[in-house]
């Protein structure tokens, strides 16, 4: 196998691709809001449409990954995901923008489930914890996507041109890494399996931990730039720096998380993570200057870095539910909160303020700390792909 095309690099490229496209979207939310004349409530509705698309995709992606193999399904969805970001940029009116965001949300959610299932397979194959490093590549991609948005906004580039070029460049640079000779495990579901995946047993608690993390990450994706621009009065280019700071911190932390888990155990890591994330949102809620706000996004990145990887590793190791369906069930709460939470934040902000919304997100982060004991130490077992 060529040196540049190994199982780890291939999965890492899938995570990076997913992050790049979401980072592109997050960085241009203020521009899209201005182009279409959206208020916070209208933006919240569009984010709701995007979130519904993701929720619909979770169970379908989990079943497809178990049936046809996670690697194959990841590739399929990646192609459509690249097209969907271009459609978002090219949408001429709000109704077509809503349709494009629905497809974008579906692709994002489905690819998350499939690539995490594939990542769990590679983790077992390597015989050690590597899931956090995959999520580090997602954060790196998201940071690069946000940085590209900063450049595009600084150059006053239209969103349409930005998104089309970003999709083409991501496909050119990352697409070749997805072409790897890897055979995923498959598992046929029973005829009586439910249509929608919802966690059961111990996975319910794991899902609640993912919910606390997903809500915080989703708020950072969709509302960080709006908060800095509208609440603190930052320029559009500077408003992109909030999510960039969050993403860069996530990358740095996720590169260290696997060693921290080995040294201190998942419970302590999750407990500390919840406290840091809550502190970040509470600080942001009372921040009055850009530097303080950017510091709060650094705390958030430190806090949320380990949580989703821990939750998905635990889900994939479930002894009863197949990996794809287990991850999909946890994603229903985790990424469901990431994509459905921002619309709720918009509605709450419309009735009160974004500061109040951010404070509430900080309270949900404490859920991670409270429920951290459920994340027992589960060591991956060796499996040849």
Query: Which residue has tokens 């970001």?
Result: 85
> Measured between alpha carbons, how far is 69 from 79 in angstroms, rounded to an integer?
16
**Cβ-based neighbours of 226, under 8 Å, separated by 6 or more:** 29, 30, 33, 40, 43, 239, 354
Return the closest-CA partner of residue 23 out of 221, 220, 171, 301: 221
CB distance 53 to 101 below 8 Å: yes
Where residue 140 sits, what CATH number does that domain have?
1.20.1250.20
CB distance 307 to 2 below 8 Å: no
Does residue 279 lie in a domain region?
yes
CB distance 123 to 380 below 8 Å: yes
Does residue 184 lie in a domain region?
no
> Measured between alpha carbons, how far is 299 from 284 in angstroms, rounded to an integer?
10
SS3 116: helix
Q: pLDDT truncated to tens, each residue of the chain (385 aa)?
A: 334 447 888 899 999 999 999 989 988 888 999 999 988 788 888 988 988 898 888 888 888 887 888 888 999 999 999 999 999 999 999 999 999 999 999 999 899 888 988 888 888 777 777 888 898 888 789 888 988 988 998 898 999 999 999 999 999 999 888 877 666 565 555 444 554 556 667 788 998 999 999 999 888 888 898 899 989 988 877 888 898 899 889 889 988 888 888 788 888 999 999 999 999 999 999 999 999 999 999 999 999 999 988 998 888 777 777 777 788 888 788 877 876 788 888 888 888 899 999 999 999 999 999 999 888 644 444 443 3
* pLDDT of the residue at 307: 93
Instruction: Provide the angle, in degrees to the nearest 10, between the axes of the packed helices 323-351 and 354-371.
Output: 150
Does residue 60 lie in a domain region?
yes
- Angle value at C-alpha 115, between 114 and 116, nearest 5 degrees: 95
Does residue 187 lie in a domain region?
no
SS3 160: helix
pTM of the predicted model as reported, rounded to 2 decimal places: 0.75
CB distance 311 to 334 below 8 Å: yes
263 dihedral zone (left: phi>0; alpha: psi -120 to 50; beta): alpha
* pLDDT of the residue at 3: 42
Return the closest-CA partner of residue 222 out of 86, 17, 23, 6: 23
Does residue 332 lie in a domain region?
yes
> Measured between alpha carbons, how far is 56 from 52 in angstroms, rounded to an integer?
6
Number of Cβ atoms within 10 Å of the Cβ of 264? 12
- Work out the burial of residue 186: count CB atoms within 10 Å of its CB; fewer than 13 is exposed, 13-18 middle, 19 or more buried: middle
Does residue 185 lie in a domain region?
no
Number of Cβ atoms within 10 Å of the Cβ of 215? 29
DSSP letter for each residue of 226-249: HIIIIIS---HHHHTHHHHHHHHH
Return the closest-CA partner of residue 366 out of 264, 305, 282: 282
Locate 73 and state its tokens. Answer: 């399904």
Overall number of domains in the chain: 1
* pLDDT of the residue at 117: 86
> Measured between alpha carbons, how far is 73 from 76 in angstroms, rounded to an integer?
5
> Measured between alpha carbons, how far is 325 from 186 in angstroms, rounded to an integer?
11
> Measured between alpha carbons, how far is 205 from 311 in angstroms, rounded to an integer?
10
Query: Which residue has tokens 């590597």?
Result: 130
SS3 57: helix
SS3 38: coil
> Measured between alpha carbons, how far is 329 from 116 in angstroms, rounded to an integer?
12
Range of the domain at 317: 7-178+195-374
Does residue 307 lie in a domain region?
yes
* pLDDT of the residue at 378: 46
DSSP letter for each residue of 13-81: HHHHHHHHHHHHHHHTHHHHHHHHT--HHHHHHHHHHHHHHHHHHHHHHHHHHHHH-HHHHHHHHHHHH
* pLDDT of the residue at 333: 83
CB distance 174 to 13 below 8 Å: yes
């Amino acid at each position: 196998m060529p040196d540049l095309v190994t199982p780890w690099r291939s999965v890492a490229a899938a995570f990076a691709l997913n992050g790049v496209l979401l980072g592109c979207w997050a960085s241009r939310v203020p521009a899209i809001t201005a182009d279409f004349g959206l208020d916070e409530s209208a933006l919240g509705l569009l984010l709701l449409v995007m979130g519904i698309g993701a929720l619909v995709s979770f169970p379908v992606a989990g079943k497809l990954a178990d049936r046809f193999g996670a690697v194959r399904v990841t590739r399929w969805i990646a192609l459509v995901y690249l097209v969907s970001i271009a459609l978002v940029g090219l949408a001429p009116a709000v109704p077509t923008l809503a349709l494009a965001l629905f497809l974008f949300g579906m692709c994002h959610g489905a690819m998350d489930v499939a690539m995490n299932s594939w990542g769990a397979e590679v983790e077992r194959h390597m015989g050690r914890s590597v899931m956090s490093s995959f999520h580090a590549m997602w954060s790196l991609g998201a940071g690069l996507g946000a940085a590209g948005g900063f450049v595009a906004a600084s150059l006053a580039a239209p969103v349409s041109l930005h998104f089309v070029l970003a999709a083409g460049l991501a496909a050119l640079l990352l697409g070749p890494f997805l072409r790897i000779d890897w055979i995923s495990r498959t598992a046929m579901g029973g005829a009586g399996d439910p249509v929608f995946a919802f966690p059961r047993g111990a996975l319910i608690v794991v899902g609640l931990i993912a919910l606390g993390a997903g809500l915080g990450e989703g708020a950072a994706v969709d509302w960080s730039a709006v908060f800095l621009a509208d609440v603190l009065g930052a320029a559009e280019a500077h408003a992109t720096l909030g999510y960039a700071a969050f993403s860069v911190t996530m990358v740095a932390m996720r590169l260290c998380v696997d060693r921290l888990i080995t040294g201190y155990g998942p419970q302590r890591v999750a407990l500390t993570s919840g406290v840091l994330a809550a502190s970040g949102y509470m600080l942001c809620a009372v921040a009055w200057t850009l530097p303080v706000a950017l510091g709060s996004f650094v705390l958030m990145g430190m806090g949320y870095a380990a949580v989703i990887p821990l939750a998905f590793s635990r889900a994939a190791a479930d002894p009863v539910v197949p990996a794809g369906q287990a991850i999909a069930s946890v994603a229903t709460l985790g990424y469901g909160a990431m994509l459905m939470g921002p619309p709720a934040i918009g509605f709450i902000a419309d009735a009160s303020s974004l500061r109040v919304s951010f404070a509430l997100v900080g309270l949900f982060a404490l859920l991670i700390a409270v429920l951290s004991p459920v994340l027992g130490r589960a060591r991956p077992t060796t499996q040849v792909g």
